[in-house]
Amino acid sequence: DTEVTQTPKHLVMGMTNKKSLKCEQHMGHRAMYWYKQKAKKPPELMFVYSYEKLSINESVPSRFSPECPNSSLLNLHLHALQPEDSALYLCASSQPGNSPLHFGNGTRLTVT
Amino acid sequence: QQPVQSPQAVILREGEDAVINCSSSKALYSVHWYRQKHGEAPVFLMILLKGGEQKGHEKISASFNEKKQQSSLYLTASQLSYSGTYFCGTGASGGSNYKLTFGKGTLLTVNP
């Protein structure tokens, strides 16, 4: 069982919808990440939060809006997505610095 | 900059050995290795830091040669459970793993 929990597991949304992806970890990690993974491709970094502050935004379109309400929770708010945004969205956490990433099982998003 | 992995795919019979390589055109501070099974989250295997040290995880070990800017993952006496896609991740010089960039992956298939 993964120690990083993501909900929902699957999400289908229209291009005009607003939805949110949620991620929770209870390992005491102070760095949390959002990655996007297309089929047969490596995970691509989107955002990094360190001590609940956004530290890295990899030039992600504004239709993706991250939020870190506290050290255990990470959200990704979605609005006006495009079909090409369909992918597996992975959340990960780690201790700050050069530490292993612990991934959640991901949310498989389909934009219709 | 994305590290280069080779080979792209390898097929083994149970009990055979394999080597997966990861190289970078930029100076490396550390290399992470992850395995992702189909439909699952990537799972951390090991981190290697500059110094040429070799680490082990079950029958999987790895080396890191910072002069050659490359790392190799060694899988000995492969088991069916080793099947999956292996990703190396490289961090920028400076020690932060926040911007871990993954290679394209190596698909390993172990057959009975």
Residue B80 dihedral angles phi and psi, to the nearest 5°: -55, -35
The residue of B85, B100, B106 whose CB has the most chain A CBs within 10 angstroms, and thus the best one to mutate to test that interface, is B100
Q: How far apart are CA A4 and CA A73, in angstroms?
A: 10
B95: chain A residues, CB-CB within 8 Å: 97-98
Edge to edge, the sheet with strand B18-23 lists: B4-6, B18-23, B70-75, B60-65, B55-57
| Cis peptide upstream of residue A66 (ω within 30 degrees of 0) | no
pLDDT (tens digit, 9 = 90+) per residue, B22-77?
999 888 788 999 999 998 999 999 988 876 566 666 788 998 888 888 999 999 99
CB-nearest partner of A98 from B43, B47, B101:
B47
Q: How far apart are CA B72 and CA B68, in angstroms?
A: 11
Classify A85 as helix, strand or coil. Answer: helix
B103: chain A residues, CB-CB within 8 Å: 42
Q: Which of A47, A75, A59 is nearest to B98 (CA)?
A: A47
pLDDT (tens digit, 9 = 90+) per residue, A53-71?
998 899 999 999 999 999 9
Q: How many Cβ pairs closer than 8 A exist between chain A and B? A: 59
Give the single-character DSSP code of A86.
Answer: -
B47 touches chain A (CB under 8 A): yes
CB contact set of B52 (below 8 Å; sequence gap of 6+): B63, B64, B65, B66
Mean pLDDT of chain A: 94
B43 touches chain A (CB under 8 A): yes
Contact between B100 and A90 using a beta-carbon 8 Å cutoff: no
Contact between B97 and A99 using a beta-carbon 8 Å cutoff: yes
Distances (CA, A) of B102 to A21, A55, B89, B99: 23, 19, 4, 10
- Give the least confident one: A19-23, A57-61, B65-69, B84-88: B65-69
For residue A91, the chain B residue with the least C-alpha distance is B41
Classify B27 as helix, strand or coil. Answer: coil
pLDDT at B99 over 90: no
Q: What is the 3-state secondary structure (H, E, C) of A7-76?
A: ECCEEEECCCCEEEEEEEECCCCCEEEEEEECCCCCCEEEEEEECCEEEEECCCCCCEEEEEEECCEEEE
Q: How far apart are CA B32 and CA B46, in angstroms?
A: 6
Contact between B98 and A90 using a beta-carbon 8 Å cutoff: no
Contact between B40 and A31 using a beta-carbon 8 Å cutoff: no
d(CA B109, nearest CA chain A) in Å:
14
B91: chain A residues, CB-CB within 8 Å: 98
